[in-house]
Amino acid sequence: MATVKFDAPGFWDLGPEVLKVVREAAAPFELRLSFFALGDPEDPSTAVANMLEMPPNFVLPRHAHDCERLEIVVRGTLEVDGEILHPGDISVARPMEMYGPHIAGPEGCVTLEFFSSMQGVGQVILDTPDGPEVTRYLESRYFDDGDES
């Protein structure tokens, strides 16, 4: 059994190499992510847990993933659909179900998210005025159609 301390140096750098690109895409927004593959990180169907830290008042735009997703507030508060979630509160999204915007509280927010597949973590479907916009962060081998965007 392995343990990881939340405040340990390097905590926000943890995760499979394939998900490094997701962490790098989030960095300009002052989001920090650590990932924990719940199985083989080379298998697109492997479930993934991630810690997400959002700065104060950060707005995560409305989006979806192509997998099951469960999020637990760990620190701070998070506004979800007009309701304020506190540590221990949970939100759930089904595959392709749009959620958000999520708004971090004035002290910021840390959540623990569970994704039912690595592929789902690496594909974000943004809700835009022109319709859904898909961004794929992972290599094409993680997608059934072989198309990498």
Give me the residue spans of the domains in the chain.
15-142
Condensed to tens digits (0 to 9), the pLDDT of residues 23-50 reads 999 999 999 999 999 999 888 899 999 9
Q: Tell me, what amino acid is at 19?
A: L
Asked whether the beta carbons of 108 and 43 are under 8 A apart, the reply is no
pLDDT of residue 143: 55
Q: Which of 80, 66, 71 is nearest to 134 (CA)?
A: 66
> Phi/psi at 134 (nearest 5 deg)?
-95, 130
pLDDT of residue 137: 83
Q: Which of 140, 133, 98 is nearest to 119 (CA)?
A: 140
CA 98, 85, 110, 92 torsion: positive or negative? negative
Residue 14's CB is within 10 A of a number of other CB atoms, namely 16
- CATH class name, domain 15-142: mainly beta
Q: Tell me, what amino acid is at 70?
A: L
pLDDT of residue 65: 95
> Phi/psi at 86 (nearest 5 deg)?
-115, 170
Q: pLDDT tens digits, the chain, 149 residues: what are they?
A: 889 998 999 999 999 988 998 999 999 999 999 999 999 988 889 999 999 999 999 999 999 999 999 999 999 999 999 999 999 999 999 999 999 999 999 999 999 999 999 989 988 999 999 999 998 887 655 555 544 44
Q: What is the DSSP letter of 6?
A: T
Nearest-Å Rg of the Cα atoms of the chain is: 15
